[in-house]
Amino acid sequence: MDAFDAVLALPDLTRRTFQTPGAGASSRPFTVRAQTPDGLEVKTSRGGTVTLRAEAFDGGLKALRDLGADDPEGWVRTSDDVLLAVLSSENRDHAVASYVLPLLEAAGLIDLDRRRPSRARARRVDSA
C-alpha cells in the first residue's frame, strides 16, 4: 500500500479535524473536504481550499526517509528546504507540507514532533 492509499484508508478522513505541524498557537486546524481525481481537497482554517496531489504523499514519505538518514533518530525539520521543495514539486509547485505531513502521521507512516522547531521522521519499517 502506498502512502496515499494509507491516508485514504483512514476511516474518519473526511470527518476529522487535523492540525498543521506547528506548536501551540501556530498550529492551525484543517479538514479533508473530498477526494478528487488527482488527490484530496483540503479546507484550510481560513476557509480556502488546497488540492493535495497523490504524488505529494509518496514523495514526502520518501524525502523524509532519505533526509532522515543524516540524523541518528531520523528527524527532519518540517521547514527543511529540500523537504519543502520535494513536496511542492510533487504538488505542482504549491506549498503543502502543512497538510501532507499531518495526514501521513494520522495514517501511521510518520512521527511528528510539534515542539519548536517542529520536525518529522518516517517510521522505521521492520524487515522480518
> What global pTM score does this model have?
0.93
Q: How many CB atoms lie within 10 A of CB 12?
A: 9
Name the stretches of the chain with pLDDT < 50.
127-128
d(CA 87, CA 100): 8
The 10s digit of each residue's pLDDT in 28-64 is: 999 999 998 889 999 999 999 999 999 999 999 999 9
d(CA 74, CA 17): 27
- Domain boundaries of the chain, sorted by first residue: 3-113
Mean pLDDT, all residues of the chain = 92
pLDDT at res. 126: 56
pLDDT at res. 118: 94
Return the percentage of the chain with pLDDT > 90, whole number. Answer: 84
